[in-house]
Structure 1
Amino acid sequence: MQIFKKLSWFFKEEKKTYFYGIVALFIVSILHIIPPRLIGMVIDEIAKKQLTAQMLFISLVAMLIVAILEYLFRIVWRVYIFGGSVMLEKKMRSKLFDHFLKMDTFFYQKHRTGDLMAHATNDLQSVQNVAGMGVLTLADSIMTGGATILAMVLFVDWRLTILAVLPLPLLSLFSKILGERIHNAFKYSQETFSHLNDKVQESITGMKAIKTFGQEKEDIEDFQTKTKEIEQAFVKVNFYDSLFDPAIAIIVGISYSLAILLGGYLVVQKSISIGQLVSFMTYIGILVWPMFAVGMLFNIFQRGGASLARIEELLSHTSHIEENEFAKVAKKQGAFDFQIEEFSYEQERGVQGSLKNIAIHLPKGKMLGIVGKTGSGKSTLIRLLLREFDTYKGTISFADDDIRLLKKDSLLSKIAYVPQDHFLFSMSVADNIRFAKPSATEEEITLAAKMAAVDNDIQQLTNGYDTMVGERGVSLSGGQKQRLSIARALILESELLILDDALSAVDAKTEEAILTNLKHERSEQTTMITAHRLSSVMFADEIIVLDKGEIIERGRHEELLEKKGWYAEMWELQKISQEEERHGA
């Protein structure tokens, strides 16, 4: 019953729904005890040889009316009780999905996609069953069982009733013994299902790598191992579950035997009639469902409890980025300033990198280039600006406001970000471009595509802008995916555009076209570009060179070449490499 306490918030919200459902269920329980009584009365009249056609007709009509009423009220309780359980699933799924959207990088480092999907599917289904079948079995077992036992006492004999229900406490004993075992077994089975989900998702996503390295056989063996684990886990759950039915069958058999023995004796003693005994035996048959329901109830509660515990554990995680209580809306426009004294990732979280003594002023309408070796801190600087981490000494400000004091959504609405890993959704080219701006017109979509130098490529596709790109853009080349991501960011016309090494998959000519478009079309807006290829930042108003998290050089392209430092050295190396590629081609 602990799970009902945990879900009390929902039952309070939906109290009217469940009230109507339970009232309908109560009426069905009362109606259910009428036919056995009528049958017993007809049998008694037959035994007395006093049954008339009129009496038989009235009895049959009464049973028909009862059957019709039962049918109608069964529809009512199904609509309200099962409908209410669907509402719980909807609310919890929305709550879980909203939680996913609020979580930070650390959360997704800890939890794999397949595991999160298992929580949002199997676990939620088990919790929904508590609010649907669980409520039904609890209410129906109490009301049908109670009404039936009351009818047995009132219409037949109290002594016979006591003897018949005497074995019922054994059911509670079985439920208590098996309940904890089912809870633990089902929790483990859900965990193994999560592992299988992870495996399938990872294998499908990495199918090219698996085939390239010829690991199909090994991957199949790994899949079969995990399948065997989940099979064994669910076999154990079903084994404990299956123990309820034989126990109930034995208890029912004992009740029937006792009823026949004592009932037959009472008929002989003329304490009850043969019709009453038939009614009583029918009532025992009706009691079978409440007895089965008790077994189902414990099963449903244990499964639901295990799943709810898994969901609650997931929901207990909080983002490391906390919005300030007095956070304010970001101003419409302004400069970005970085004054970072020191920042380093927490090593136990498995991420490396640091920043130190970073001082950058990025005025409105200017372009900033950031270059450096792999691991120098380029992406780290971007992640701080996007507020993936707030644990740094110093400030990052927009329009003279510390970004940690701004509403996060308000800040991010000023930024259009193109990451290194380009993600496209399984929808049309046009829908991918308008993703962040659903109201965008065809003209706006085309303009953004032209600025990203991808319009010509789109025109060559089978259905142009209506071409479906497939899951994660599988039907497109790396350069096309990269430029579509840029177009998706450009359509927002944000105050700041960030290209995080987002030109690496395009050729030099296309790169130059995109940079020229940015310089021309975004002259009133700010742009930040991180890159390994120096040609991506050569037109920037300022270029900073990072090494081990510190700025070692800064200036315009020409100024940095004159300094003969790291930048000039890399420029010469990349020029030589490009020349060799041209001659090799």
Structure 2
Amino acid sequence: MSIFKKLGWYFKAEWKTYLFGLLGLLITALLAIIPPRMIGVIVDSIHNRQLTGRLLTIDLLILLAAAIGQYGSRYMWRTAIWGAAAKLEKTLRQRLFGHYMTMDQTFYQKYRTGDLMARATNDLQAIQRVAGGGILQFADSIITGGTTLIAMMTLVNWRLTLIAVLPFPLLAVMAFYLGQKINIAFRDSQAAFSRLNNKAQESISGVKVIKSLGQEQADITDFNQQVDQTIKVNRRVNRLDALFDPITTLIIGLAYVATIVMGGSLVVSHVITIGNLVSFITYLSMMIWPIFAVGMLFNTMERGNASYDRVMNLINERSQVIDQTDGKSERPAGDLSFNVEKFNYPDDPQTALSKVSFTIPAGKTLGIVGRVGAGKTTIMRLLLRQFEQYQGHIKYGDTDILDYQLDSYLPALGYVPQDSFLFSESVRDNIAFAKPEATDAEIDAVVKEADLADQIDQFENGFDTLVGEEGVSLSGGQRQRLAIARALLIKPELLILDDALSAVDAETESKILTNLHGERAGKTTIIAAHRLSSVMQADEIIVMDHGTVTERGNHDQLMAQDGWYHQMFERQELEMRVRGANGEE
């Protein structure tokens, strides 16, 4: 019964709705007592040759009235109980999705996408069944079972009733024993489903890589193994679940045997009439649902309990990024000062950044270069407040970025990573994602800045062209330029390009950088890149290596230092000349 306690907060909030539903169940149960009694009366009238047309008409009208009353009361409890259950699922679904939207990078590194989707679907449905079917099974087994039992004892014979229900306690013992085992098995089942969901999600997302490397058969084999493992786990759940119905049927069978033997002797000894026995057997058949409901209840509760714990484990996770609700609400502006003494990623002992400091005057451009893993993207992540547990401070203007409200700080930043996510919408909708109310003129302007206008003109449906899931219908360069246009649309105070020009050719790169230099006068820009031509015109360039700054200066100063920057620039220039000599783009 622990799941009912865990959902107590919801039952308290919706107690009027559930009370209305329970009233409907009670009325239904009371009206259900009438037909068996009337059938017994009719049987006795026939047996005693006392049935007349008038009496039969009255009895049939009573049966009709009871049926109509049951129709109304069933509608009453169904709309109340199932409606409240659907509302719970909606509440938890909104709460869980809202929680996903507020969680930080650490959370998404800990949980895989397929697992999060499984908890937002299967687990929530299992919880919904507790608030709907579980309440029905619990209340109806008591109300219907109780009223029917009372009717059997008062309207027929209490001794016969005691004999008939004697096997019923066996059901409680069986339900308690199997319920514990089903809880454990169902947890394993849900975990297996999450793993299978993860596998399917990753395979579909990475299908292009799988096919390009010729690993289709290997991936299918891996998927089939996951399916087989999931089936194996679910078979245990099904075996335990399947034990309920046979045992319940056995208990009912024993009750019928006791009724026929004891009831027959009572009829022979004239203690009860044949009509009473017919009514009793009909009442006993009405006890089948409450008995089944008890078995189903334990199943529903154990599944819901396991799912509720899985969902609440997610909701109880707390983001390490703290939004200062009473923080500064103004849009950040001014110089950007970055001073981080040390930063480690959560649960990673290796230092990601060490003694990194730089200042970007308002309206200037900073270039960040270095080897793969040197710390370039880490700087961007700290600027975007994806992680906040670092030693030092980062100030925008005279205010630490941690003192800004997130809703004020983040909209002032335009971020374009190397692999930008695109939605399965049109080109226009993807560009206008951060500013849905943007006009066509505004969209046209940023498209030209990103040097994407000619490309869009060649699309069959222009701006209305659907890009496919994650922009699958676009080339890498088109996706990057679309993402740049999207970032420029909000006119950010700080534009961050994290290797966002890696998929475009040198000529296109030059056009985009020239456009940005002209259109973003007075705005701050950070460009992290592997291709050094992307940062040549930056006001200052820093070279990163193993999380620290090893060189700094503008292009001419760095070339004069004859360090890593100078050597890499010369190498890339040579590669460009060789490709040009070979007629490559």
Q: Output aligned runs, 1:74-223, within 5 Å.
A: 74-223=74-223
Counterpart residue number, 2:522? 524
Are 2:30 and 1:30 aligned? yes
Q: Could you tell me how far 1:506 is from its partner in structure 2?
A: 0.7
Between stretches 166-175 and 326-335, larger displacement belongs to 326-335
Determine helix, strand or coil for the equivalent of 2:541: strand
Between stretches 180-189 and 337-346, larger displacement belongs to 337-346
Determine helix, strand or coil for the equivalent of 2:272: coil
Rounded to whole Å, the distance in 2 between the matches of 1:332 and 1:210 is 44
Rounded to whole Å, the distance in 1 between the matches of 2:487 and 2:331 is 20
Alignment check: 8 A CA contact 2:329 2:404 kept: yes
Rounded to whole Å, the distance in 1 between the matches of 2:371 and 2:72 is 74
Rounded to whole Å, the distance in 1 between the matches of 2:386 and 2:97 is 19
Between stretches 287-296 and 117-126, larger displacement belongs to 117-126
Rounded to whole Å, the distance in 2 between the matches of 1:550 and 1:278 is 90
Between stretches 481-490 and 390-399, larger displacement belongs to 390-399
Rounded to whole Å, the distance in 1 between the matches of 2:420 and 2:170 is 62
Q: Could you tell me how far 1:255 is from its partner in structure 2?
A: 1.1
Q: Could you tell me how far 1:332 is from its partner in structure 2?
A: 4.4
Deviations 1:260-308 (A, max 9, x none): 2222222222222211111111000000000000000011111111111
Determine helix, strand or coil for the equivalent of 1:270: coil
Deviations 1:142-164 (A, max 9, x none): 10001101111221111111111
Rounded to whole Å, the distance in 2 between the matches of 1:72 and 1:440 is 53
Deviations 1:195-245 (A, max 9, x none): 111111111122222222222222222111111111111111111111111
Are 2:359 and 1:383 aligned? no
Alignment check: 8 A CA contact 1:446 1:455 kept: yes
Identity %: 52
Alignment check: 8 A CA contact 1:40 1:279 kept: yes
Deviations 1:30-89 (A, max 9, x none): 111110011111111112211110110111111112112212221221111111111111
Amino acid at match of 1:306: A
Rounded to whole Å, the distance in 1 between the matches of 2:265 and 2:121 is 56
- The one of 406, 422, 429 aligned to 2:404: 406
Rounded to whole Å, the distance in 2 between the matches of 1:155 and 1:41 is 11
Rounded to whole Å, the distance in 2 between the matches of 1:229 and 1:181 is 19
Q: Could you tell me how far 1:489 is from its partner in structure 2?
A: 0.6
Counterpart residue number, 1:233? 233
Q: Output aligned runs, 1:487-506, within 5 Å.
A: 487-506=485-504
Are 2:347 and 1:321 aligned? no
Counterpart residue number, 1:509? 507
Rounded to whole Å, the distance in 2 between the matches of 1:233 and 1:349 is 34
Q: Could you tell me how far 1:322 is from its partner in structure 2?
A: 2.7
- The one of 566, 581, 584 aligned to 1:583: 581
Rounded to whole Å, the distance in 2 between the matches of 1:372 and 1:332 is 28
Counterpart residue number, 2:434? 436
Q: Could you tell me how far 1:548 is from its partner in structure 2?
A: 2.4
Amino acid at match of 2:482: L
Between stretches 238-247 and 356-365, larger displacement belongs to 356-365
Deviations 1:286-344 (A, max 9, x none): 00000000000011111111111211222232222233575332444222111222223
Alignment check: 8 A CA contact 2:325 2:405 kept: no
Alignment check: 8 A CA contact 1:458 1:465 kept: yes
Alignment check: 8 A CA contact 2:22 2:139 kept: yes
Counterpart residue number, 1:478? 476
Counterpart residue number, 1:367? 365
Alignment check: 8 A CA contact 2:324 2:406 kept: no
Alignment check: 8 A CA contact 2:493 2:524 kept: yes
Alignment check: 8 A CA contact 2:413 2:492 kept: yes
Q: Output aligned runs, 1:252-267, within 5 Å.
A: 252-267=252-267
User: TM (normalized to structure 1)?
Assistant: 0.97
Deviations 1:100-155 (A, max 9, x none): 12222222222111111111111111111101111111111110001101111221
Counterpart residue number, 1:311? 311
Amino acid at match of 1:183: N
How big is the alpha-carbon RMSD for the aligned residues of Structure 1 and Structure 2? 1.5
Alignment check: 8 A CA contact 2:332 2:409 kept: no
Rounded to whole Å, the distance in 2 between the matches of 1:257 and 1:468 is 69
- The one of 571, 574, 581 aligned to 1:573: 571
- The one of 402, 421, 424 aligned to 1:423: 421
Q: Could you tell me how far 1:387 is from its partner in structure 2?
A: 1.3
Determine helix, strand or coil for the equivalent of 2:263: helix
Amino acid at match of 1:442: D
Rounded to whole Å, the distance in 2 between the matches of 1:28 and 1:443 is 64
Rounded to whole Å, the distance in 2 between the matches of 1:481 and 1:353 is 33
Are 2:548 and 1:550 aligned? yes
Determine helix, strand or coil for the equivalent of 1:413: helix
Alignment check: 8 A CA contact 1:189 1:233 kept: yes
Q: Could you tell me how far 1:353 is from its partner in structure 2?
A: 5.2
Q: Could you tell me how far 1:562 is from its partner in structure 2?
A: 3.0
Rounded to whole Å, the distance in 1 between the matches of 2:361 and 2:331 is 14
Rounded to whole Å, the distance in 1 between the matches of 2:336 and 2:324 is 20
Q: Could you tell me how far 1:488 is from its partner in structure 2?
A: 0.8
Are 2:292 and 1:295 aligned? no
Determine helix, strand or coil for the equivalent of 2:502: coil
Deviations 1:431-450 (A, max 9, x none): 11011111112221121111
Deviations 1:485-523 (A, max 9, x none): 111111111111111110111111111111111111111
Rounded to whole Å, the distance in 2 between the matches of 1:18 and 1:399 is 56
Rounded to whole Å, the distance in 2 between the matches of 1:274 and 1:188 is 53
Amino acid at match of 2:195: H
Alignment check: 8 A CA contact 1:366 1:526 kept: yes
Rounded to whole Å, the distance in 1 between the matches of 2:74 and 2:348 is 55
Rounded to whole Å, the distance in 2 between the matches of 1:255 and 1:202 is 54
Determine helix, strand or coil for the equivalent of 2:287: helix
Counterpart residue number, 2:224? 224
Alignment check: 8 A CA contact 1:479 1:505 kept: yes
Between stretches 315-324 and 147-156, larger displacement belongs to 315-324
Rounded to whole Å, the distance in 1 between the matches of 2:342 and 2:332 is 29
Q: Could you tell me how far 1:460 is from its partner in structure 2?
A: 0.5
The count of corresponding residues between Structure 1 and Structure 2 is 583
Rounded to whole Å, the distance in 1 between the matches of 2:208 and 2:384 is 32
Sort the Cα spacing of 1:349 and 1:72 in 2 relative to 1 into closer, same or farther, 3 A.
Answer: farther
Rounded to whole Å, the distance in 1 between the matches of 2:343 and 2:123 is 39
Rounded to whole Å, the distance in 2 between the matches of 1:48 and 1:319 is 79
Alignment check: 8 A CA contact 1:340 1:394 kept: yes
Alignment check: 8 A CA contact 1:331 1:399 kept: no
Amino acid at match of 2:194: S
Rounded to whole Å, the distance in 1 between the matches of 2:355 and 2:259 is 89
Rounded to whole Å, the distance in 2 between the matches of 1:57 and 1:20 is 34
Rounded to whole Å, the distance in 2 between the matches of 1:345 and 1:29 is 61
For structure 2, the residue ranges without an aligned partner over 5 or more in a row are none
Rounded to whole Å, the distance in 2 between the matches of 1:334 and 1:74 is 67
